[in-house]
């Protein structure tokens, strides 16, 4: 079995969609079974995309409305909590998702990749 080497895309970051968001630079990422399935073309996804849902990053920019008392500052190293995508927030799954944060379902059928 050969190794899978995903293509590298050097795309400049977009402006933050929300003044409460920040920009993270991924320093390290895990490559899980789902990533391998996508890389082999057995499942589709919007490309380019951010692979891995387990990564360590450094905050490189913060939106103007980020709470100044937030522990996250530019230069802070952070870890993901397993959700590197954008759920729609309005489908039945996002509105009725049990213990999950409202509007943030892990099973959103309309979720999009980070970009």
- pLDDT for position 84: 52
Do 90 and 113 lie in a common domain? yes
Quote the pLDDT of residue 26.
Answer: 82
Domain that holds residue 112: 85-115
Q: Answer yes or no: do 45 and 99 share one domain.
A: no
92: helix, strand or coil: helix
* pTM score of the predicted model: 0.54
Confidence at residue 2, expressed as pLDDT on a 0 to 100 scale: 60
Question: Residues 30, 56: one domain?
Answer: yes
Q: Closest Cα to residue 92, out of 76, 75, 71, 108?
A: 108
Instruction: Please report the pLDDT score of residue 115 as a whole number.
Output: 44
Cβ pair 50, 10 in contact under 8 A: no
In a domain, 4, yes or no: no
For the chain, list residues with pLDDT below 50. Answer: 115
The reply to whether 60 and 111 lie within a common domain is: no
Number of Cβ within 10 Å of residue 62's Cβ equals 20
44 within a domain of the structure (yes/no): yes
Quote the number of domains for the chain.
2
Q: Residue 56 CA to chain centroid, in angstroms?
A: 11
CB within 8 Å of 75: residues ≥ 6 apart: 58, 59
């Amino acid at each position: 079995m050969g190794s899978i080497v995903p293509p590298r895309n050097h795309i400049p970051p977009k402006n933050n969609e929300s003044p409460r968001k920040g920009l993270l630079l991924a320093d390290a990422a895990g490559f899980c079974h789902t990533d391998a399935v996508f890389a082999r073309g057995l499942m589709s996804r919007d490309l380019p995309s951010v692979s891995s849902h387990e990564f360590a990053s450094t905050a490189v920019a913060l939106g103007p409305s980020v709470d100044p008392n937030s522990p996250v500052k530019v230069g802070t190293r952070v870890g993901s909590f397993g959700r590197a995508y954008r759920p729609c927030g309005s489908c039945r799954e996002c509105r009725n998702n049990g213990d999950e944060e409202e509007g943030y379902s892990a099973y959103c059928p309309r979720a999009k990749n980070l970009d």
